[in-house]
Chains A and B, each alone.
Chain A
Amino acid sequence: MSSAFALGRRYLRAAWTPIVLSAVIVITWAIVENAGSVTLEEDVMRLFLWMMLVLAWQLFSGNSGVMSFGHVAFMAAGAYFSALLTMSPTLKETTFADMPQFLASWIRPAELGLFESMLAAGALAALLAAVFGIAVARLAGIAAAIATLAILVIMFTFIVQTPSVTGGSDVLVGVPRETTPGNVAISLVVIIFAVYAFKQSRHGIRLRASRENQEAAQSVAVNVRLERYIAFVIAGVICGVAGALYAHYFSGFAAADFYFELTFIVVAMLVVGGMQSVAGAVVGTYFLTIIYLTARRAEVDGALGIEWPSGTANLLVAIALLLALILRPSGITGGREVPWPGALWRRKGAVAASAAGTVPEEVKEAITAGPSAPEATTRSRPDAPTPTSGESL
C-alpha cells in the first residue's frame, strides 16, 4: 500500500510541471466557458494560440539555445493549407480562380473537418521544417538566427506574391469557424505535456547539453545537428497545428498576421518568461498577454482619462522585453520549472531561518553552497533541487 503510494508520488512528481501548467490552462478555459463573454473568449483564444507558439519556441530555442525567428512561417503554412482544405468548394472556385491545375484538382473539392485539417497542417509544416531544418541544424548562434529570419521572409514573400494559391496580401475570408476554446485548450494541454516530455527525453537532455557546451556534448557522442534537426521539425509541427487552429478561429486572416509583429511578440514572451523552462513559456505568455491586451483595451476605450494612441500595447511589449534582457536575462522563472511543493516549503523555511539570523554560520554556507558541500548532503535530501540548477531531472 505504501509502496503504491510512493510510486504514485514519483509519477506525480515526474509530471508535476505539466500537471500544474495544464491545471492553469483548464481553469482559464473553465472561466471562459462560464463567463460567456465574447471579448473574453477572444482574448483567451489569443492567449492560448500565442502560448502554443511560445511552447514550440521553447522546445527548439529553449532547449538548443539556437534562437529562431522563423517558426511563424510554419504557422502561416499551416493556417493557409488548413484553410484551403476546409473552405467550401464553391467559395474556392471563385476566390482561387487561377489556381494551378495540379493543386486545384485536389484542393478545390476538398472539404475536411477541423481535426483532419489540423493533421494536414502539421504534415505540411513538418515537410517544410524538414527541408529548411537541414540548413538551420548545421548553423549556430547568429548565423542560425539569420537563416531562420530568412525562412520567415521567404514564406511571407511567397504568400504575398502567389495570390492564385493564397489570396496574396489580401485577407483570406470564408474559413469555417470550427475552433472552440475546448479544442484549443485540449490541444494546448497535449502540447504542454509533449514539450515537457521532450525536454526530459534523451533528445531533450542531449540538446540541452549541446546548449551549455557544444564541444563537450559532441565529445560524448551527441550528434548536435541531428538533435537540433529533430527539435526544429517538432517545433515546426506544433506551429503548423497552431496555424490551423488560428485560421479556424479568426476565420479571416492575412499574410501580414504571420510576420515580424507576431514573431516579436512570441520571442518577447519566451524571453520574459524564461526560455529554458516550459513553465517560463507559460508564465511569460500569461504575463505579456495580460499587459498587451489591457493596453489594447486602453487604446480602444481609453484608460485613466487619457486616449492611448494605437501602438501602446506593442510598445509596452518592447519595453518589457528590453527590461527583461537588461535586468533579468533568464526571465521571470529564471529557467526553473514549477517547484515540487515539498521542496518549496523546505527551501522557504531554510531561507527564512537564515534571514532571521538564527542559523549558525556553517549551515548558512551549506545552504548557499548547495548539496555538493559535505554538510549539505547530510542535511538536505539528495533529490531536493539544488539552488544552482533549480530543476530536477
Chain B
Amino acid sequence: MIGAIDLQVGVDAVSFGALFAVMALGLALLFGVMRLMNFAYGELIMVGGYTMYYTRDFGALPMILITIVVVVFVSVLMELIAFRPVRHAAPVTLLITSFAVSFGLQQVAFMTVAKGRQKGVEPYPWLTDQHHIAGLRLSNLDILTLLVAAGLLIGMTLLLKRTTIGIQLRASTEDYQMAQLVGIRGNRVISFAFAITGLLAAAVCILFVLRTGSLSATMGVTPLLIAFVGGAIGGLGSLTGAALGGFTLGVVINSIQSSLPVDLSGYTLMFAFLFVIVVLVIAPSGLLDLTRRVWSAATTRFEVLNRRAA
C-alpha cells in the first residue's frame, strides 16, 4: 500500500518534472547561444495563454496550432526589436533588456487582454479522465504532459544533433565568434533559436494552461522562476544540464509538497532559491558539470591507484 502511494507520488512528480524540464530548456537555449537570461520567456507563455483564450472555440487542434504560430512569431519579433540592437552588449545588459521587454509586455497585457474580469480557459473534460493502471491513477493530462515533454526532448536532441541548423546552433553555443568565422550566419541562427524558444514556450503554455486554467498578465512569472532555478541548478550553459535541472526541481518540489505539512509547503520557492544561491557559489556552471568533474577526478584517482597496485 505504501509502495503504491510512493509510486503515485512518483508519477505526479515525473509529470511535473517533465514540464519543468521543457521550461528550463527554453531558457537555457538562449543563454547558451547569446548569454541571454531571458526574463521575457514568461511573457511568451502569457501571450500563448491569451491566444488560447481567444481561440478556445475553434477546437483543440486549431487552437494549439494558432497558439504555437503566435508565440513563435512574438518570440522572433522580440529578438528583432529589442535584442538585436544590444546583441554584443554584456550579459547583464541583455538581462536588463529582457527585464524591460518582460515588464513592457506585462503592461501591454494589463492594458488590453487582461483588463476587466479574470479570464480563463476551461480545460477539456476528457483531460482529467483518469486511468487506473497497476493501481496508479493516471490522468490523460499526465500522459499528455509526459508524451509532449518526451517528444520535445527527443525532437530537440535530434534537431540539435542531426540537422545542419541544429549543428550550427550548437556551434554558436560553444563559441559564437568562432562559429561566425567559419561562415555560420549569426542572425539566422539566433532567429532560429528564438523560434525554437517560442515553440517550447508554446508547449509549456498549453500544458500549463490546461492544468491551471486561469490567465493573468503575470501568469508567466512562476514558470519563469521555475525555469530559472532549474536552469541555474543544472547549468544554464548546457542544454542537457538545464533539462536535468528542471526535471530534478520538478520532482523535488512535487515530492516536498506532497510530503511536507501544508503550512510549510509555501516556503518551497524560498528554499529553492536558497539552494540556487548555494549552487551558484559552489558550482557556478551547474551541478551536472560539478558531478562530471568529481566523477572524472574520482576515476582518474582510481586508475592511478590501479596502476600502482599493478
Nearest-CB residue, chain B, relative to A271: B96
Sorting the interface of chain B by its residue count into under 10, 10 to 19, 20 to 34 or 35 or more gives: 35 or more
Cβ-neighbour of B37 out of A145, A271, A319 (below 8 A): A145
In the complex, which residues of chain B have a beta carbon less than 8 angstroms from the beta carbon of A145? 37, 92, 95
For B135-152 the 0/1 string (1 means CB < 8 A from A) is 000000000000000000
Within 8 Å of chain B (Cβ to Cβ): is A392?
Answer: no
Cβ-neighbour of B273 out of A154, A309, A329 (below 8 A): A154
Sorting the interface of chain A by its residue count into under 10, 10 to 19, 20 to 34 or 35 or more gives: 35 or more
Give A388 to B31 CA distance when docked, in angstroms. 33
Query: Is A135's CB under 8 angstroms from B108's CB?
Result: no
A-B residue pair count with CB separations less than 8 angstroms: 118
Within 8 Å of chain B (Cβ to Cβ): is A216?
Answer: no
Give A139 to B91 CA distance when docked, in angstroms. 14
A326 to chain B, nearest CB (A): 4
Query: Is B95's CB under 8 angstroms from A322's CB?
Result: no
Q: Which of A69, A146, A158, A161 has the most CB of B within 10 A?
A: A146
Query: Is B35's CB under 8 angstroms from A314's CB?
Result: no
Give A326 to B83 CA distance when docked, in angstroms. 9
Nearest-CB residue, chain A, relative to B35: A142
B interface secondary structure, majority: helix
Within 8 Å of chain A (Cβ to Cβ): is B192?
Answer: no
Within 8 Å of chain B (Cβ to Cβ): is A67?
Answer: yes
A213 to chain B, nearest CB (A): 13
Cβ-neighbour of A329 out of B93, B104, B115, B280 (below 8 A): B93
Give A139 to B283 CA distance when docked, in angstroms. 11
Within 8 Å of chain A (Cβ to Cβ): is B310?
Answer: no
Give A105 to B267 CA distance when docked, in angstroms. 25
The 8 A-B pairs of least Cβ separation, nearest first, read A318-B104, A311-B110, A315-B107, A309-B111, A150-B273, A157-B270, A161-B266, A311-B107
Using a CB–CB cutoff of 8 Å, the interface residues on chain A facing chain B are: 67, 69, 132, 135, 138-139, 141-143, 145-147, 149-151, 153-154, 157-158, 160-161, 260-261, 264, 267-268, 271, 309-312, 314-315, 317-319, 321-322, 325-326, 329
19 residue pairs of the A-B complex, CB under 8 angstroms, read A67-B95, A132-B277, A135-B277, A135-B281, A142-B91, A146-B280, A150-B276, A150-B280, A153-B270, A157-B273, A261-B103, A309-B110, A311-B107, A311-B110, A312-B107, A315-B104, A315-B111, A318-B104, A319-B104
